[in-house]
Amino acid sequence: MSSAAVTNKKGFGATLWDYLTTVDHKKLGVMYLFAGTLFFAIAGFEALLMRLQLMIPNNDFVSAGTFNELLTMHGTTMLFLAATPLLFGFMNAIVPLQIGARDVAFPFLNSLGFWLFFLGALFLHLSFFLGGAPDAGWTNYASLALYSPGHGIDFYVLGLQISGAGTLISGINFIVTIITMRAPGMTFMRMPLFTWTSLISSALILFAFPPLTVGLFLMLVDRMFEANFFDHTMGGNTIIWEHLFWIFGHPEVYILVLPAFGLFSEIIPVFARKRLFGYSSMVFATILIGFLGFMVWAHHMFTTGLGATANAIFAVATMAIAVPTGMKVFNWIMTIWGGSVKVTVPMLYALGFIPSFVAGGVTGVMQAAAPLDYQLHDSYFIVAHFHYVIVGGIVTAIFGSMHFYWPIMFNRALSEKLGVWTFWIFFIGFHCTFFIQHFLGLMGMPRRVFTFQADQGWDLFNFISSIGAILMAIGVILLVINIIITAKSKPLNCRDYWGDGRSLEWAIKTPVPFYNFKQTPLVRGYDPYWLEKHEGNKEGMIYAEPLGDIHMPNNSILPLVMSIGTFVAAFGALYHPDGKAWAIPVLILGLAITVGAMIVRSVKDDLGFHVHVEEVIATEEHLYGKGGNK
Amino acid sequence: MMKGLKKWRLFSLLAVMTVFLSACGEEYITTLKPTGAVGKEQFNLLLFSIAIMALVTIVVSVLYLYAFMKARRSKLGEDYMPKQVEGSHTLEVIWTVIPIILLLILAVPTLISTYKFADVKAMDKVDEEGNKTALTVNVTAKLYWWEFEYPEQGIVTAQELVVPTDEKVYFNLKAADVKHSFWIPAVGGKMDTNVENVNKFYLEFGEESADLKDGVFYGKCAELCGPSHALMDFKVKAVDRNEFNDWVAAMQATEGATASAESTDLGEQTFANSCLMCHAVSGVGASGAMGPNLTTFGDRNRVAGVLEHSKESLEEWVKDPEAIKPGNLMTGKYGELSDEEISAVADYIMGLSIEE
């Protein structure tokens, strides 16, 4: 397998096999990126259909039932199956390079995490063809979920259970990787901000996903075996679901937005040509946000009737989160202050992010004021707020980072010109869609409505909002075109594409060999590559070890097999309540496949392989010509 | 160049102003022209928080734009190397402390109002004769309609809430099937109707609704509850206390009213045979009906919560409720009716009124 990276061209079958079995963090990063983009496009299309339906009052473009499926799948897909994998894509592709590691701590689990996510997502989306998608909102509140006919909710529960397991596995993997795999000299307080936010975000995954898993499991047995955890007529309680969901659901927002903060903390210093201002307070703010993120879930439930004291406590705790977030914004501005800002596409996204995110943040504080939230809750105001945070914060980070990291991930650069067009069309469309929705909410429009009556004062703003959605769609299409065009462009074969790279990932020449750095680098300070560059080190880094054999993990098909097992088992679980005779056998078969693959993995020793020095030299010469990575 | 920029600024300012001015909405539904103490207090909190947040946004924007304008590489030259600053403890302290102060300022009215709005002790207060002093309405949210019971008065109605102005009206909120949320935007914030417990809160109706466009405030369901969530509207008629007392008396006077299957009127006959199992025509009773109470149907504002109040709409609704409110529980409950029967029963229902 070592020689696979050296050989030139491979047939389609071999390439496919390579991707199905790979445990390489860079390839998995690319797979996460493309899977995430696929689901992002699907969920974006669902959003577009909804906005077209709401363009004019009393529209009948999509039916009421379909609209509820669209809104549920839009939210679920965007959060679980688009934003999460896209950010995981960057974490996979960049974090090991940033800390000077050969790979993640558990490459096998990394692959398993991806396949569980992907097959869970696939399972969820099959609902569209198998009798209807889930329709109780991404929050899936229990009373409505249990009332919902058909299998939609079962697809939701099982699909998220599988893909959630993948996310949890990946989260644990990143915690271990970042704690144990750092290069010599890469102390915690020298870690780049993106690594830091990935670490904290992974820790949030570790604590936030179990409550979701529990909630989904209770819902599953409620629907499969009528266990009545949430059926109030049988002594169950639906508020428990709300708590379990939001104990997960609120940290989930931070799981997504923290890596986005991290990405901007990488982009801004590079294009401001200036060290990140207040690094240590940025780290502190990240940890504080992660911690406080678990203390505020009930602000999603201010109108549930928890009582004045609970509302008061959660209102104040929620307001407190604004402080560390504000620290971050000021630190970014101070990084720009006195810098030398080059407005490239990634920097454009960063510059657009700051005001958009501030707008989303201040409306968040307004909703933290519980009595005011009684008016704003479940109105279009909240829709505007969280889209400002998610699109303005996370999607801009993802788009910006695509441009920023494309040279490292693909050894090619996305077109700047097309990128500028994409940015402006998307950015204007975004504000056009969502700014106006604040007012729709204040004017009394509830969210999640499939239509609205004319003459309630909402017609014009809904129309404007829909126009904005069309602009956003055009922006996304341009980005996809950009990606396709770029695939045909010339390889870069360079180091430090943007010229002002600071952290370790820029010290490596592209294309990045499968073993990353041929020798583990020695980190002598914060922004190690910048440090070496400005001390005149032409070689990129100095190294902590002599050139020697490199130990790498073997590829394996087992993660895919295990995931297929759960995928098969899910069908058995899904159709069991219908009394289908084959349901239980299929469930058992699926679990047998998974467990069988686990046994094979446990019994068979897989110690990886060594890339010998000669092979390393040959690979380097093949990639960069004589002299290797210098 | 500068002149063009100034003009552009003026234009965008005007555009923003237009948006703001037209952004207040219709007074029977908007939260921005509230009536009554609760809605007004929430509106004031909105203005107060907007003021603080506008201050924050302006400061951040000015800093951000200034920093960016001064730091453009196109102005500084390609080779300019900025000083690599680590950070500043003084600045960190400043932008930690100032937000904390601003949030504390915002927290004070937040906490006061939170406790104030949750105070429903007066619900149970009684006068010397043991009668409750405050008006209480029991709201039951059901798949796509609302039932309003007045327990002290012994009456029940649906879809159109009638309340007196200028006093606190207390609500017991509950859902009969799935979770809903009770919201009258122009009067005050919402409260969920849960399936397993009763939520309590109060609202105040500051002005009579008679002068509004339809003579009513609009009420909404604010929690996704199924396909027809968007159509689960109700209306609120706010009248002065005397008029309210008259209305209660008229409702109480309908005690025992029913439709007779032996009636010579085809409409009443059809109603008795096909509708009466679910729909009462007497306003005396308690909540828990299968379908909306129709005692005051002729006085209402909408058919099925969303259609225009006319015989044609009613016929349309009775013919095929599923086409209007998908997922409703009325479809298929009353067999096939002929066009003649539908027309007659529509006449009968439209004639149900207590206001004449």
pLDDT in tens, A311-346: 999 999 999 999 999 999 999 999 999 999 999 999
B70 close contact with A: CB closer than 8 A = yes
Percent of chain B with pLDDT over 90: 85
B220 close contact with A: CB closer than 8 A = yes
Please say if the pLDDT value at position B23 is more than 70. Answer: no
**How is chain A split into domains, by residue range?**
2-556+606-624
The amino acid present at A338, given as its one-letter code, is: G
Contacting residues for B356 by C-beta, under 8 A, at least 6 apart: none
Question: Chain-wide mean pLDDT for chain A?
Answer: 94
Q: Which long-range contacts (CB under 8 A, 24 or more apart) does A621-629 make?
A: A622/A6, A623/A493, A623/A509, A623/A511, A623/A513, A624/A493, A624/A509, A628/A518, A629/A508, A629/A509, A629/A513, A629/A518, A629/A540
For residue A361, give the chain B residue with the closest CA. Answer: B53
pLDDT at position A539, please?
81
pLDDT at position B6, please?
60
The tokens 């951000």 sit on which residue?
B64
Q: How far is A335 from chain B (nearest CA, A)?
A: 8
Tokens encoding B154: 């012994």
The stretch A191-219 carries a mean pLDDT of: 96
Angle at A21 between CA A18 and CA A26, to 5 degrees: 75
Provide the CATH number for the domain formed by A2-556+606-624 in this structure: 1.20.210.10
Pairs of CB atoms within 8 A across A/B: 304
Identify the helix (H) or strand (E) that includes residue B164: strand B160-164
Q: Which residues pair with B142 in a beta bridge?
A: B145
What is the Cα–Cα distance from B8 to B12, expressed in whole angstroms?
6
List the single residue in A303, A308, A452 with the smallest CB-CB distance to B114: A308
Which tens digit of pLDDT belongs to each residue from A409-456? 999 999 999 999 999 999 999 999 999 999 999 999 999 999 999 989
Nearest to A518 by CA among A499, A541, A534: A541
Which tens digit of pLDDT belongs to each residue from A491-545? 998 999 999 999 999 999 989 999 999 999 999 999 999 999 999 888 888 999 9
Question: Chain-wide mean pLDDT for chain B?
Answer: 92
What is the Cα–Cα distance from A327 to A314, expressed in whole angstroms?
21
Which tens digit of pLDDT belongs to each residue from B35-86? 999 999 999 999 999 999 999 999 999 999 999 999 999 999 999 999 999 9
List the single residue in B29, B49, B81 with the smallest CB-CB distance to A444: B29
Contacting residues for B88 by C-beta, under 8 A, at least 6 apart: A277, A278, A334
B42 close contact with A: CB closer than 8 A = yes
A10: confidence class by pLDDT, cuts 50, 70, 90: confident
Alpha-helical segments (H) within A191-233 = 193-225
The stretch B143-165 carries a mean pLDDT of: 96
Contacts B100 to A, Cβ<8 Å: 323
Please say if the pLDDT value at position B9 is more than 70. Answer: no
Q: Are A133 and A73 in contact (CB under 8 A)?
A: yes
Spell out the domains of chain B, with CATH numbers in brackets: 31-117 (1.10.287.90), 135-350 (2.60.40.420)
What is the Cα–Cα distance from A587 to A569, expressed in whole angstroms?
4
Q: Are A559 and A600 in contact (CB under 8 A)?
A: no
Produce one character per residue of B17-56: b if its CB has 16 or more CB atoms within 10 Å, e if not.
eeeeeebebbbbbbbbbbbbbbbbbbbebbebbeebbeeb
What is the Cα–Cα distance from B282 to B276, expressed in whole angstroms?
11
Please say if the pLDDT value at position A2 is more than 80. Answer: no
Given the DSSP bridges, would you call strands B160-164 and B234-239 parallel, antiparallel or unpaired? parallel
Stronger pLDDT, A622 or A277, i.e. the higher one: A277
What is the Cα–Cα distance from A155 to A160, expressed in whole angstroms?
8
Q: How far is A513 from chain B (nearest CA, A)?
A: 32
A627: confidence class by pLDDT, cuts 50, 70, 90: low
Is A329 in Cβ contact with B60 (below 8 Å)?
yes
Which tens digit of pLDDT belongs to each residue from A250-283? 999 999 999 999 999 999 999 999 999 999 999 9
Rg of chain B, C-alpha, whole Å? 28
Which tens digit of pLDDT belongs to each residue from B217-232? 999 999 999 999 999 9
A115: confidence class by pLDDT, cuts 50, 70, 90: very high
List Cα–Cα distances, A404 to A411, A414, A495, in angstroms.
Answer: 12, 9, 13
DSSP, collapsed to helix, strand or coil, labels residue B161 as: strand
List Cα–Cα distances, A405 to A26, A348, B289, in angstroms.
Answer: 12, 15, 62
Cis peptide before A446 (omega within 30 of 0): no
Contacts B106 to A, Cβ<8 Å: 319, 365, 369
A6: confidence class by pLDDT, cuts 50, 70, 90: very low
The stretch B152-166 carries a mean pLDDT of: 95
Residue B347's Cβ-count burial label (10 Å; 0-12, 13-18, 19+) is middle
DSSP string covering A423-441, please?
Answer: HHHHHHHHHHHHHHHHHHH
Helices A64-76 and A152-180 meet at what angle, rounded to 10?
10
For residue B96, give the chain A residue with the closest CA. Answer: A323
Q: What is the pTM of this model?
A: 0.94
Which tens digit of pLDDT belongs to each residue from B80-136? 999 999 999 999 999 999 999 999 999 999 999 999 999 999 998 988 888 889 999
Nearest to A187 by CA among A179, A197, A177, A199: A179
Q: How far is A559 from chain B (nearest CA, A)?
A: 38
The stretch B275-281 carries a mean pLDDT of: 94
Q: Are A611 and A2 in contact (CB under 8 A)?
A: yes
Contacting residues for A138 by C-beta, under 8 A, at least 6 apart: A72, A74, A75, A76, A79
Q: Are A273 and B81 in contact (CB under 8 A)?
A: yes
Please say if the pLDDT value at position A9 is more than 80. Answer: no
List Cα–Cα distances, A517 to A196, A362, A427, in angstroms.
Answer: 21, 43, 37
Please say if the pLDDT value at position B5 is more than 70. Answer: no
pLDDT at position B1, please?
46
Please say if the pLDDT value at position A628 is more than 60. Answer: no
Percent of chain A with pLDDT over 90: 91
Q: How far is A75 from chain B (nearest CA, A)?
A: 14
What is the Cα–Cα distance from A321 to A289, expressed in whole angstroms?
6
The tokens 């604004």 sit on which residue?
A322
Alpha-helical segments (H) within B22-164 = 37-70, 73-76, 89-117
